[in-house]
Amino acid sequence: MNVFRFEFKQLFKSTLSWSLALALVVIIFMSFYPVYYEQIAIMKPLFDNLPELLLKSLGVNVDTLFTGLGFYSFILMYVQLIAAMQGMMIGLGIVGKEVRLKMNDFILTKPMTRSSILIQKSLAIFSHILITWTLLSILSYVMLTTVETTDLKFNIFLLFTFSTLLLQVMFASLGILTAVLLRKLKSVVGVSMSVVFTLFVMNLMQAILDEPWLRYFSPFQWFEKSYIFYNSSYEWPMLAMCALVTIGSCVGAYVVYTHKDIHAV
């Protein structure tokens, strides 16, 4: 497990930085909730008067916004955007490192099979994602129990927070697949931002246009917050879509990586 240990140690500080960034987003936004709740008589009419198109594009549900979990579901869209960016960058960065540094031929001279290298790198990726998600979930629970004015619906909270993990894993899988497909990789940040923000824009387009077919191309819509809040479950077709993309990306990356020609530099 030399590759796993090396990649895990290399990225540990970065994972702590991502975790801190996500923690700050949750702390700052959730700290505003008591103000919203205390001023509900003033704030709710203001939101009611805003155009529905604007509310949809911002991910605001006025009916749930003034509950702790509803407010958390609002900020979760932006938390998941950051988490997705982390997943994509880790997947692309770790697996695509040799491509970016032009060292593909070097790592494959080591006494390890290609499948072993890819599996160990993938384990390091998912380990860092699990660390980030665990810290984020614990902090989110603490903040919610601190500001929530009614009994916290723990099952709904688990569904919300677990959807973040599923999205992180999916984007990490896309990052791994992208890394093994690329012949050249100049910027991990550039490629990651292009993919994540393109899919996030699809999320906004679906919210604005309200076209059902767009949801299948918008991962941020696969775990629709209002549906989870009112039904205490995921939408099975969307969950299946997430599983299909994740598994398909991992299998595709494995097949390509173990069979592609590696060009010496």
Write a three-state SS string for 167-199.
HHHHHHHHHHHHHHHCCCCCCHHHHHHHHHHHH
pTM for this predicted structure: 0.88
Residue 130 confidence (pLDDT)? 93
Mean pLDDT by 10 residues, the chain (265 residues): 78 87 88 78 71 68 76 87 91 73 56 78 90 92 80 87 93 90 78 86 76 82 87 90 93 84 55
Alpha-carbon distance of 179 to 182, in angstroms, equals: 6
Residue 58 confidence (pLDDT)? 67
Residue 105 confidence (pLDDT)? 53
As given in the structure block, the two tokens for residue 204 are 């906004």
Burial code (b: 16+ CB inside 10 Å, e: under 16) for 202-241 equals: bbbbbbeeeeeebbeebbbbbbbbeebbeeeebbeebeeb
Alpha-carbon distance of 87 to 17, in angstroms, equals: 13
- Given a contact cutoff of 8 angstroms between Cβ atoms, the answer to whether 234 and 154 are in contact is no
Report residue 241: phi and psi, to 5°: -65, -45
Residue 230 confidence (pLDDT)? 87
In one-letter notation, the amino acid at residue 113 is T
Residue 122 confidence (pLDDT)? 86
Residue 187 confidence (pLDDT)? 76
Exposure of 80 in the CB half-sphere (CA atoms within 13 A): 29
Residue 116 confidence (pLDDT)? 83
- Given a contact cutoff of 8 angstroms between Cβ atoms, the answer to whether 117 and 99 are in contact is no
Residue 261 confidence (pLDDT)? 63
C-alpha to C-alpha distances, 134 to 22, 109, 127, nearest whole angstrom? 12, 36, 11
